[in-house]
A and B are shown apart, each in its own frame.
Chain A
Amino acid sequence: AQTVTQSQPEMSVQEAETVTLSCTYDTSESDYYLFWYKQPPSRQMILVIRQEAYKQQNATENRFSVNFQKAAKSFSLKISDSQLGDAAMYFCAYRSSGGATNKLIFGTGTLLAVQP
């Protein structure tokens, strides 16, 4: 069975600085998808960024980018120019590529605080 591990329960960053959130996963599959979801306090979970395992190029979405290391099974999220609105719980998630439904396996989350 696949597992997702986020080893940083909490992180803090100064506004305008850069922070990296760690995620590792375990799988025997060769093709899959990885996601970072953001869950602000009392607000709904939204997708931040996604990565297809077959793509070597790291995904980027504006200030958010990932460092995908397939051999190491590592998928870290870098937030550049951090803003107060980035404060949230961040979940790393895994999805197998096969099957019609995309069951997500989540990590335990990293709570990010942004200091003004």
Chain B
Amino acid sequence: DAMVIQNPRYQVTQFGKPVTLSCSQTLNHNVMYWYQQKSSQAPKLLFHYYDKDFNNEADTPDNFQSRRPNTSFCFLDIRSPGLGDAAMYLCATSGPGAGVLDTQYFGPGTRLTVL
């Protein structure tokens, strides 16, 4: 089945140690999103790619970076994780190719723990 896949599902890192989260999709969607969701809070958009065009939210810290080497993959890099970065990170996609244009399809998330 076409889907959004996130690896790993659980990631533990140390304070200040760079970490990379991965997202892949088989939906052939041209837009990919990264959200941060802290406990009992709503998902907060960090940035998104429209094809290769990167769009950063104004309040996304510089500590967060992203790469999209091709249509299928997108990475979230946290350069120096702090305790406040512990959260669930959700990847989502949207676009033509499957389903309704306006709908975002979410992956299962990666839960990041910072020690």
Which residues of A does B touch, CB under 8 Å? 33, 35, 37, 43-47, 50, 91, 95, 100-104, 106-109
Contact = CB atoms under 8 A, between A and B. Distances in A.
Interface stretch (B69-77, B79-87, B98-106): B98-106
> Could you say which interface size class chain B belongs to?
20 to 34
Chain A contact surface mostly: loop
B42 A43 contact: no
Contacts, number: 50
A100 B50 contact: yes
Contacts of A107: 42
Contacts of A45: 43, 90, 92, 106
A40 to B, nearest CB: 10
A108 B44 CA distance: 10
B114 interface: no
Contact of B106 (A46, A95, A101): A46
B58 to A, nearest CB: 11
9 contacts: A44-B108, A46-B106, A101-B55, A102-B94, A103-B48, A104-B104, A108-B40, A108-B42, A109-B42
Interface of B: 4, 31, 40-45, 48, 50, 55, 90, 92, 94, 100-109
A111 B43 CA distance: 15
Contacts of A33: 102
A46 B3 CA distance: 12
Contact of A50 (B55, B102, B107): B102
Contacts of A95: 102
A47 B4 CA distance: 14
B103 A44 contact: no
Nearest to A33: B102
A43 B108 contact: yes
Contacts of A35: 103
From B41, B43, B109, name the one whose CB has the most chain A CB atoms within 10 angstroms. B43
